[in-house]
């Protein structure tokens, strides 16, 4: 096991790299053999630690690594990653400074507007080796209404790209907004194909196409046409046999289904466990108030265990009075409000519980488990937010 920093408090996260590899291959086996996998490691690899996780995916042969921001791409380069790194958020308003960083650290930006083309062209012209062209990807907004060029704005952007002598369009992508809704997804694919045909008409064949997210991968198996998202009702495709196509899984790689109802669609293994210990036990009489605002009152003589984790660690305040933890392989309730640094749990019925007993807040203990989706249900959120919210002050321990 490898630790990021000195660990004095007993609260930590364990990252199971074998489970990470397993989930990567679960995605891979659902895809055609010649489909590349762009592994999403944005948001510190969904809270799992960007550099160690990316190193695993690089060794497994991923086509590229996906991040949201330029800073995240720089972190990977400084961590020694050699793979292509796609910055899906593009410059995010960073302007010339962001464009220079993109070039310096050999990152591949996703372009969302015509203005970015001129900025990148200016910077690349100044710093790029003469006679070479710098790769960019283009995102089409097919219905997410977030980043991406709209169909109306696409002609202007393509004109700028055609005029850019130092840039080349390597890839085209879009993002599915409502994967469970077949009709809305079908309409997004129609828009993507229509706009994709315009791109090909203006610029010629595009080397890479990608659209399939975790939900699309888990819906597999599917063929080359479906994974590119460029399939119409007649079966014609934007992608020729000479072109590449990628899938773009994210949350499934970390053992969490994109939607709870997808939990049976693949054999995913949870990668992150959140573990602590009981650091104090006190016996209190019936009628004792527990935690802030006195929202919980004991109904019997009780043994209260104090666990050093709180909302500053990413254990949500919204779990107050709702969550359970595992002690001795049994689920026991969290009492009262979650505080910044600590929670209180009821160990009255666990005579074996003592100071130093292991507490699992997320993960497995004996035959019981608490998943990210279970925590999310208690907190009224989604599994993504649970793992992404695990604070930097929680040491990550990497289990090989």
Report the 10 Å Cβ neighbour count for 183. Answer: 8
| Helix ranges (DSSP H) in 79-223 | 95-104, 114-127, 154-163, 182-203, 214-218
Q: Are 208 and 170 in contact (CB under 8 A)?
A: yes
SS3 372: helix
**13-35: b (≥16 Cβ within 10 Å) or e:** bbbbbebbbbbbebbbebbeeeb
Q: Measured on CA atoms in the order 70, 72, 77, 83, is the torsion positive or negative?
A: negative
Q: Are 251 and 48 in contact (CB under 8 A)?
A: no
- Written as one string, the DSSP assignment of 282-341 is EEE-TT-EESGGG-EE-SSSEEEEEES--GGGT--GGGTTT-EEEETTEEEEEES---SS
Tell me which DSSP letter residue 257 carries.
Answer: -
Strand 302-307, strand 368-370: pairing = unpaired
Tell me phi and psi for residue 296, to 5 degrees: -125, 135
CA–CA distance from 18 to each of 15, 42, 254, 268, 272 (Å)? 9, 20, 11, 12, 11
CA nearest 307: which of 289, 292, 294, 326?
Answer: 326
Q: Any bridge partners for residue 36, and if so which?
A: 246
Q: Which helix (H) or strand (E) holds 166?
A: none
Residue from 82, 104, 186, 292 carrying the catalytic annotation? 292
292 given a catalytic annotation: yes
SS3 347: coil
259 given a catalytic annotation: no
CA nearest 386: which of 368, 359, 361, 366?
Answer: 361
Residue from 42, 139, 265, 277 carrying the catalytic annotation? 42
What are the catalytic residues?
42, 292
């Amino acid at each position: 096991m490898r630790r990021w920093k000195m660990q004095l408090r007993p609260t930590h996260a364990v990252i199971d790299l074998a489970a990470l590899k397993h989930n990567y291959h679960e995605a891979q086996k659902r895809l055609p053999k010649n489909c590349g996998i762009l592994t999403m490691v944005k948001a510190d690899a969904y809270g799992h630690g960007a550099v160690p996780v990316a190193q695993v995916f690089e060794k497994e042969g991923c086509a590229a690594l996906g991040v949201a921001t330029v800073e995240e791409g720089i972190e990977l380069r400084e961590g020694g990653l050699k793979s292509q790194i796609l910055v899906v958020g593009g410059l995010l308003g960073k302007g010339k400074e962001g464009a220079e960083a993109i070039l310096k650290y050999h990152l591949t930006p996703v372009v969302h507007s015509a203005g970015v083309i001129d900025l990148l062209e200016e910077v690349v012209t100044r710093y790029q080796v003469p006679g070479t062209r710098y790769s960019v990807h283009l995102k089409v907004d097919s219905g997410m209404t977030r980043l991406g060029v709209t169909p109306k704005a696409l002609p202007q952007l393509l004109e700028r790209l055609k005029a850019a002598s130092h840039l080349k369009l390597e890839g085209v992508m879009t993002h599915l907004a409502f994967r469970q809704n077949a009709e809305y997804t079908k309409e997004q694919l129609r828009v993507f194909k229509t706009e994709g045909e315009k791109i090909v008409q203006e610029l010629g064949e595009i080397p890479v196409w990608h659209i399939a997210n975790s939900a699309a991968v888990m819906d597999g198996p599917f063929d080359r046409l479906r994974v590119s998202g460029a399939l119409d009702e007649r079966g014609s495709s934007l992608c020729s046999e000479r072109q590449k196509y990628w899938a773009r899984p994210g949350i499934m790689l970390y053992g969490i289904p994109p939607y709870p109802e997808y939990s049976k669609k693949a054999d995913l293994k949870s990668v992150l466990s959140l573990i602590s210990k009981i650091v104090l036990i006190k016996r209190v009489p019936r009628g004792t108030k527990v935690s802030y605002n006195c929202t919980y009152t004991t109904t019997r003589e009780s043994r209260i265990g104090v666990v050093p984790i709180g909302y500053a660690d990413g254990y949500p305040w919204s779990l107050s009075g709702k969550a359970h933890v595992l002690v001795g392989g049994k689920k026991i309730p969290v009492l009262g409000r979650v505080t910044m640094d600590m929670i209180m749990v009821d160990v009255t019925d666990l005579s074996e519980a003592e100071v130093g007993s292991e507490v699992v807040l997320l993960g497995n203990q004996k035959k019981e488990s608490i998943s990210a989706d279970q925590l999310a249900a208690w907190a009224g959120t989604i599994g993504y937010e649970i793992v992404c919210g695990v604070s930097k002050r929680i040491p990550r321990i990497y289990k090989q």
